[in-house]
Amino acid sequence: MHVPLIDLKAQYRKIRGEILRAIGEVCEGQRFILGQEVQKLEQEIAAYLGVDHAIGVASGSDALLLSLMAIGVGPGDEVITTPYTFFATAGAISHLGARPVFVDILPATFNIHPARIEDRLTERTKAIIPVHLFGQCCEMEPILKLAGSHKIKVIEDAAQVIGAAHHDQKAGTIGDLGCFSFFPTKNLGGYGDGGMIVTRDEEIARRLRRLRVHGSEERYYHLEVGCNSRLDELQAAVLRIKLNYLDQWNSARRACAQRYHQLFTKAALLSDLTLPEIVPGNSHVFHQYVIRAQQRDKLRYYLKEKGVDTEIYYPLPLHLQACYKDLGHREGDFPEAERLAKEALALPIYPELTEEQQSYIVEQIKLFYA
């Protein structure tokens, strides 16, 4: 048996007709950038999340970059975030000449440790970017409280959590801005790059709309230097179809996670593995199902031999990346992130994953530990 980490072809088979029709309509219209499809997708995402403004951009990375630009982050500023995330989170900060200031994670949720943020605040801190990793929201209350009392902004990196909720608030709508990615393997993935920023702040929304078109509100007249970061019509048309399935697909992912939990418990593997934890008040959308395993690398190799694909998110925390040498960090600075990088193993999870495949995976893991 071969079990891939994700099987986008299985999803495509189910929606092929609808997708091809939608793409065909865009081709008939021959308008490809910022047209009706993008506008409708922005309205539909805003309605789905319960937020006032949604602005389509070229990628999740750009969503972070433009959000930081929109709140005025620049050279010399500091932005607090986690060292345990995809590089884009910190890259956006550095790109603007600002400094990423890292805070270690909570071992149980893999998300930023809220009680450790205050120590890292300085007069130069402009924002906090909590990253909702693998499908579950950060503990937002202490973060919002701290940001409120220090008058700094909160930008949620919600690239991995579209549809998730935290105490009945949708991920991405809790802070000042929320950033989403439509990278093909995300829970809501396009057929190429794409991203979205959401906010309740009308002024910020207006600024974002001009930043994505080189800072202009009236064509060829530029109020500020922005960039070219637009969502295209083909992506928006595909995403509008897929948005209709998002809740159903997220439920299917949750069911897979529950099934893993049952299978691992039944196989008596809980002394060898740590399973993902769902914090009360959170609705998890399992973008990834990440277990912690002693002998992670051996287990991964064993599974590969048995036809089970896995992935390591992420093998090297950001404070130890070559490009961040000048931040002056060393091994030991963020021990929880460093430990997780050695133990984390993502197992296959996607809405079409079958019971039979999951049983096979758990059976192989049992054989490894036996």
Ligand X SMILES: *Cc1c(COP(=O)(O)O)cnc(C)c1O
Residues lying near ligand X in the complex (CB under 6 A) are found at 59-61, 85-86, 88-89, 131, 157, 159-160, 181, 183, 193, 195
- Taking the least distance from each CB to ligand X, the nearer of 231 and 263 is 231
- Any residues with CB less than 8 A from the CB of 367 and at least 6 apart, and which? none
Find the residue with minimal CB distance to ligand X: 60
DSSP label at 272?
Answer: T
- Taking the least distance from each CB to ligand X, the nearer of 160 and 199 is 160
Compute the least distance from the CB of residue 253 to ligand X, in Å: 15
C-alpha dihedral over 143, 147, 152, 153, to 10 degrees?
40
Compute the least distance from the CB of residue 57 to ligand X, in Å: 9
C-alpha dihedral over 11, 13, 17, 21, to 10 degrees?
60
- Taking the least distance from each CB to ligand X, the nearer of 86 and 264 is 86
> Are the CB atoms for 215 and 226 separated by under 8 Å?
yes
Residue with tokens 């991405």: 172
Compute the least distance from the CB of residue 31 to ligand X, in Å: 23
- Taking the least distance from each CB to ligand X, the nearer of 89 and 310 is 89
Compute the least distance from the CB of residue 182 to ligand X, in Å: 7
**What tokens does 258 get?**
């529950």
Rounded-to-integer distance, Cα 342 and Cα 315, Å = 7
Compute the least distance from the CB of residue 132 to ligand X, in Å: 8
> Are the CB atoms for 132 and 284 separated by under 8 Å?
no
- Any residues with CB less than 8 A from the CB of 362 and at least 6 apart, and which? 260, 263, 264, 267, 269
- Taking the least distance from each CB to ligand X, the nearer of 183 and 249 is 183
Rounded-to-integer distance, Cα 8 and Cα 190, Å = 11
- Taking the least distance from each CB to ligand X, the nearer of 157 and 232 is 157
Compute the least distance from the CB of residue 196 to ligand X, in Å: 10
Question: In the chain, which ranges are E strands?
Answer: 53-57, 78-81, 99-102, 125-129, 153-157, 165-166, 169-170, 177-181, 195-199, 216-218, 221-222, 273-274, 282-283, 289-293, 344-347
Compute the least distance from the CB of residue 133 to ligand X, in Å: 7
- Taking the least distance from each CB to ligand X, the nearer of 125 and 160 is 160
